[in-house]
Structure 1
Amino acid sequence: MKLNTQNAEFVLSAARLADCPRDSLPQIAFAGRSNVGKSSVINRLLNRKNFARVGSAPGKTTHINYFRIDRKVYFVDLPGYGYAKVSKQERARWGRLIEQWFADASLLTLGILLVDLRHKPTADDCVMAQWFKDSGKPFVVVANKQDKIKKSEWEPNLARIRETLALDAQTPVISFSAEKGLGKEELLGVILDHISADTAQE
């Protein structure tokens, strides 16, 4: 299957589970801390500069944003987590929405968990990884900001991420740079494989 990533459109921001599309298109969900560069990764995959909004302040995306790509797949931008300035009430609302979203097995085809290659994954990252594991659906970890550290640190840091998140051997960990595009083709390849597999099952 080919995917024209230039043919991308914003569909909606879902504030509650009932708003989420259920039209049988595969759904690729992106999750990560508020400052991990999630919007920048989506923009890089689509070759668009400001398609997925890059907020001046992390933590602004509190809805689930849906983008339809080439009328074949949704990229689902889950709200960023772990940002201290968000109120307790907002964090609680976010938690309920995400919990409900993960409980609906029809809404997830492939999960993409973004972490920062420079740092050990946080407790919040570990919780999100566990949610993906518990969903029973495949997921991939994308270690962003590869361009911010020395090449000699890439492999040890990737190993630390795999160990901290307790990933099995089948879960890919992709080193990525949203700024330079490193890892883009590998990630797109994984996405296309899962779109094709999902479509074949219908």
Structure 2
Amino acid sequence: MTTTLNTSASAPHSPSPDASAKAAATAALGWLHTAKFLTTAPQLHFLPPLDLPEIAFVGRSNAGKSTCINILTQQKQLAFASKKPGRTQHINLFALGKQGVNDAILTDLPGYGYAAVPKQDKIRWQQVMANYLVTRENLKGIVLMCDPRHGLTELDQILLDVVRPRVEEGLKFLVILTKADKLTRVEQNKALSIMKLQAGGGEVRLFSAPKRKGIDEVATLLWQWAHPNETLPTT
């Protein structure tokens, strides 16, 4: 008589792809939650030289940049989110790292393009941001915030032209389409397709703070940028 062994009960179960992705996102969000204010600078030369990987957030004043940073770090007032765009006029650095050991930096660059800001201030900040994005040696990634209802503006296009050589050399680049909840599903898919063509080799994600859309994916991506030789826990 032949006996068939039932090994299904004792066989190890691998986590599903969805469960693994959720576990990785939870770990990445836990890392982002460690963000704390490090320093602020009105000009590039006031920034401290750092050897930690730096990820910069840029975008128009009303594109939802500060809100995105606050949502990702789960801190309501980490980045200054004003109802009057154009108020933030400094480069703000936030340190990341668990157990009190910093391992990366988030940089919040001033929003650009707001009409109420004097023209001379606009020009000055365009120069400051361009210099930062081109010369900051420890910069590892750029996150461009864009309201998909308006698409890329002329200033966004200029920024893309400025960073394109560094992106071609390996600098990470992500376009976040904010306020995605204000679009229909069809409009979201259309905006995503158009931006993928315009992003110049960068990645694109839909994002909505009220709907919590894209938060897990962006958090995981930023962790991977800052830790290219490590693997997030998936269980």
- Using the size of structure 2 for normalisation, the TM-score is 0.77
Aligned equivalents of 1:28, 1:198: Cα separation in 2:
17
Which structure has the larger Rg?
Answer: 2
SS in 2 for 1:82: coil
**What is the aligned partner in structure 2 of residue 173 from structure 1?**
204
Tell me if the contact between 2:134 and 2:163 (Cα under 8 Å) persists in the aligned partners.
Answer: no
Q: Is the 8 A contact 1:114 1:143 kept in 2?
A: yes
Alpha-carbon shift at residue 57 of structure 1 (Å): 0.5
5+ residue gaps, structure 2, are 1-26, 231-235
Contact 2:180/2:206 (<8 A) preserved? yes
Counterpart in the other structure of 1:83: 114
Q: Equivalent residue for 1:5?
A: 32
State the Cα distance separating 1:110 from its structure 2 match: 0.5
Report Cα offsets for 1:17-47 as digits up to 9, x if no partner.
2222322111010001000000000001011
Match of 2:80 among 53, 62, 69: 53
Matched, 1:139 2:173: yes
CA RMSD, 1 decimal: 2.0
- Cα deviation per residue 1:44-100 (whole Å; 9 max; x = unaligned)? 101111221111200111111111122221110111111111111101210221122
Q: Aligned partners of 1:179 and 1:112: how far apart in 2?
A: 20
Note if contact 1:113-1:129 (Cα within 8 Å) is conserved in structure 2.
Answer: no
Deviation track 1:104-126 (CA, whole Å, cap 9, x = no partner) reads 14141100011012222111111
2:57 paired residue number: 30
User: Structure 1 unaligned runs (5+)?
Assistant: none
1:153 is aligned to 2:187 = yes
Is contact 2:61–2:112 with CA below 8 Å preserved after alignment? yes
- 1:182 is aligned to 213
1-side partners of 2:229 and 2:141: how far apart? 10
After TM superposition, the structure 1 = structure 2 runs for residues 62-77 of structure 1, keeping only pairs within 5 Å, are 62-70=89-97, 71-77=102-108
Residue aligned with 2:146, SS: strand
Structure 1 residues 166 and 10: CA distance shift in structure 2, 3 A: closer
Aligned match for 1:97, one of 123, 128, 140: 128
Residue aligned with 1:65, SS: strand
Partner of 2:143, secondary structure, is strand
Take 2:141 and 2:151, find their aligned partners in 1: how far apart are those partners? 23
Letter in 2 for 1:29: A
